A and B are shown apart, each in its own frame.
Chain A
Amino acid sequence: MPVYRQNILLEVARGIKAFLNFEAGLTRGPTPGEGGGIQSLEEAHKRLEDRNRQIAELEKKVRESRSDAPAGDLKPENVVWMFGTARVGSTWLGSMMDEPTGHTMWHEPLVGALFGGFYYGRGAHRGGKHGILGGPDEKRSRAIRAFILASAHEKFPEVSGDGYLVVKEPNGSNGAPLLAQALPESRMIFLVRDPRDVVSSNLSGKSEGGWTAEAYKRGRRQGTPPPSDPKAIVRKGAKKYLEFIGRSKEAYDAHEGPKVLVRYEELRADTLGTMKRIYSELGIPMDEDEVARAIKKHSWENIPEEKKGEGKFYRKATPGGWREDLTPDQIQMVEDITGPLLQEFYPEQQISRAGV
């Protein structure tokens, strides 16, 4: 609830100060001035201790609010989804989150793509009660939940008790709402990045000699190779961003479990501070030294030089690099397609309106 506070102090004579303390706002609980009757520091500390104890108990209750336990005892509330889209830094964040003791990363299961691609992409089949993903939400969610938990157990039987399973799922984010509905008590990281930088990175990888283009050329990837026309790559990349970040946002907004929104740019600017915020907002205990070691291990500087650079998976990691990488027409195209999301997540970034 909004609160406005102002404390003014000025010395009016030697040793004598005039003060004005002003506080106004809206509250659901006791009004601040009452302080719940707190008159002394000792009393305040006692109250704080009491509240800390209550919070610990309630957090435990929230954790235990699950009413089922899969065969392997992976706690659904210890599943941490990482949604967004490709090229937003999820590999980096996932690598750091994989390091702490008791934390395991599930690298791109694409379970979101399985269900999301069918549900949203072939929406005609979701309507009737006969459709496998049709009928009431609860039934669909129950079936998807059982599928995810059984698959997770099959793959990670060792993750149980207080262990966390971080599911790096940027390329399955088109199914994020379905996964979040199926596991309402799970935790969620919504990782976003400026769409112009995402498309720029995409373009670099798919252009002649880029790592994605090479994967098709050398047969490591099959199917239709990416278009060679830069305009087509940019358009496709921007549309994918709109769909995947859009679905992630839909899931994030509706999710009632612990969740955190992270911008790639802030993760780059202050990695430790952002990591601390992620763990804090997700309610996951963290060992700061352990996290600091993980950050150092996976820092940009520690990636061998030969693995970095234009056309490579690790490209430049420079927020705002799109200004050098994209042409005005390409910028315009990305901004036109991703406009609403760009405005929402990067309101401080003026839309360039082509070429500015």
Chain B
Amino acid sequence: MPVLKNRVAFEVARGIKAFLNVELGLIRGETPGAESGLTDAKADTREKDTRVRQLGQIGRRLAGRARTVAEPAAGDGAQDNRVRPENMIWIFGSGRSGSTWLRSMMSDMERHRVWEEPMVGQLFGVFHKQAQEGQLRSANFIMGEPTRKGWTRSIRNFVLDGAHYANPRLGPDDYLVVKEPNGSTGAPLLMEALPESRMILLVRDPRDVAASVLDGARKGSWLYERKDKGRWKENALADTNPEAITRRRANMYMTQVGNARDAYEAHEGPKVLVRYEELRADTLETMKRIYSELGIPAGDKDLTRVVEKHSWENIPEENKGEGKFYRKATPGGWREDLTPKQAGIVEKITAPLLEEFYPA
């Protein structure tokens, strides 16, 4: 019986062909296409061919990607090059407590490097704090109590990995100063995970902290200009409702300094409590005490040098003043800056800590 077959194929792009197959005719019995399932079998084979090609591509891609994610990149250093946990010096407390000043002095000490606000304490601390009681009781929850030992170990490795990634050139004998006042909510978890590390609890009168934040949050001030996230600017609370921002800040102080204090009390590694006011009053002596209590060798000459370099007097005048990051550095300045109502708000909210650290 007559049958006409015609096949045309041509490349339309690299590796891609267009095709046209036409087959027509007269036949007794099965048509060629339907013949004994041959068409279906051919179609199946084509599908499998495609699957073979896809799997080959997926396999190659995944092997490459998994290697990238799973293995340290060349030059990253091996695990034993990570920071030694006992050489980590955590600075906890609250923002606007002089932590930038303290870490600047420490960063200029020999073999000291700084990990600037990694916020790892906020990552784990805030999440844990916000968890429901039912979640905390559950072994399924990633930070549930039944698996606490396991996730504490995971946090330890996570922090050590993160410290290494952020400071790849850190030597095994170097100290890593972790400035983490705004991650202090997670201080108890971090200290539990790294019990051999060293800790500085830096506190400041909460009324001065509130006064400093209020000043920075006003329109045109440094904090207002820097914070473009959320509704900070839109609300402009420091200008329109200063009591609200005072209350918020006082609550934050309670959480951050309260948690840092809890971590400090439980911590069995080297630790030191520092009041901003004493650091201002006698910087050199306080620095000597810090290093002595942390058990880190520090020569008087070095300490004198870093204290002098980062003294208030050495900050250029144009960088200091109202509305600036470096404002007045005057303990007790809140008496001029806060209204009696605002001071009252702070005193009421932070009463337990105020009484503990600044007894009347």
A interface, CB within 8 angstroms of B: 1, 7, 9, 12, 15-36, 38, 40-41, 44-45, 47-48, 51-52, 54-55, 58-59, 61-62, 65-68, 76, 106-111, 113-115, 117-118, 122-125, 128-135, 138-139, 141-143, 145-147, 150-151, 153-155, 181-185, 220-223, 256-257
Binary flags per residue of B96-134, CB closer than 8 Å to A gives 1, else 0: 000000000000000000011111101110110010111
B360 contacts partner chain A, Cβ-Cβ < 8 Å: no
User: In the bound complex, do residue A182 and residue B127 qualify as a contact, i.e. CB atoms below 8 Å apart?
Assistant: no
Indicate the member of A52, A54, A114, A118 with the most B CB atoms within 10 Å.
A114
> Which residues of A sit under 8 angstroms from B17, Cβ to Cβ?
26-28, 31
> Which residues of A sit under 8 angstroms from B229, Cβ to Cβ?
123-124
Residue of B nearest to A20 (CB): B24
B158 contacts partner chain A, Cβ-Cβ < 8 Å: yes
> Which residues of A sit under 8 angstroms from B305, Cβ to Cβ?
none
User: In the bound complex, do residue A185 and residue B65 qualify as a contact, i.e. CB atoms below 8 Å apart?
Assistant: yes
> Which residues of A sit under 8 angstroms from B72, Cβ to Cβ?
142
> Which residues of B sit under 8 angstroms from A61, Cβ to Cβ?
55, 59
> Which residues of B sit under 8 angstroms from A132, Cβ to Cβ?
118-120, 123, 158-159, 162
Distance, CA A181 to CA B161, complexed state (A): 17
User: In the bound complex, do residue A36 and residue B69 qualify as a contact, i.e. CB atoms below 8 Å apart?
Assistant: no
Q: Name the interface residues of B234-258: CB closer than 8 Å to any CB of A.
A: none
Q: Name the interface residues of B1-29: CB closer than 8 Å to any CB of A.
A: 1, 7, 9, 12, 15-28
Known: A26-B16, A222-B132. A131 touches B118 (CB 8 A): yes
Query: Which of A18, A31, A41, A118 lies in contact with B25, CB distance below 8 A?
Result: A18
> Which residues of B sit under 8 angstroms from A67, Cβ to Cβ?
63, 66-67, 70-71
User: In the bound complex, do residue A44 and residue B153 qualify as a contact, i.e. CB atoms below 8 Å apart?
Assistant: no
Chain B: how many interface residues by the 8 Å CB criterion?
90
Query: Which of A28, A115, A151 lies in contact with B53, CB distance below 8 A?
Result: A28
User: In the bound complex, do residue B59 and residue A62 qualify as a contact, i.e. CB atoms below 8 Å apart?
Assistant: yes
> Which residues of A sit under 8 angstroms from B63, Cβ to Cβ?
65, 67
Offer 25 A-B interface pairs, CB within 8 angstroms, sorted by A: A7-B33, A21-B24, A21-B31, A25-B18, A30-B49, A32-B21, A33-B21, A38-B42, A44-B44, A48-B48, A51-B49, A51-B51, A125-B117, A128-B116, A131-B119, A132-B119, A132-B162, A143-B161, A146-B161, A182-B69, A184-B62, A184-B69, A185-B66, A222-B132, A256-B65
> Which residues of B sit under 8 angstroms from A150, Cβ to Cβ?
150, 153-154, 157
Smallest distance from the beta carbon of B68 to chain A beta carbons, Å? 5
Known: A51-B48, A257-B62. A151 touches B38 (CB 8 A): no
User: In the bound complex, do residue A184 and residue B66 qualify as a contact, i.e. CB atoms below 8 Å apart?
Assistant: yes
Smallest distance from the beta carbon of A73 to chain B beta carbons, Å? 14
Query: Which of B18, B50, B140 lies in contact with A108, CB distance below 8 A?
Result: B140
> Which residues of B sit under 8 angstroms from A114, Cβ to Cβ?
123-124, 127, 142-143
B58 contacts partner chain A, Cβ-Cβ < 8 Å: yes
Known: A55-B55, A65-B62, A132-B162. A31 touches B69 (CB 8 A): no
> Which residues of A sit under 8 angstroms from B118, Cβ to Cβ?
130-132
Residue of A nearest to B124 (CB): A114
Smallest distance from the beta carbon of A46 to chain B beta carbons, Å? 10
User: In the bound complex, do residue B45 and residue A51 qualify as a contact, i.e. CB atoms below 8 Å apart?
Assistant: yes
User: In the bound complex, do residue B70 and residue A68 qualify as a contact, i.e. CB atoms below 8 Å apart?
Assistant: yes
Distance, CA A222 to CA B62, complexed state (A): 42
> Which residues of A sit under 8 angstroms from B123, Cβ to Cβ?
114-115, 118, 132-133
Distance, CA A223 to CA B115, complexed state (A): 33
B36 contacts partner chain A, Cβ-Cβ < 8 Å: yes
Smallest distance from the beta carbon of A169 to chain B beta carbons, Å? 10
Smallest distance from the beta carbon of B198 to chain A beta carbons, Å? 19
User: In the bound complex, do residue A155 and residue B59 qualify as a contact, i.e. CB atoms below 8 Å apart?
Assistant: no
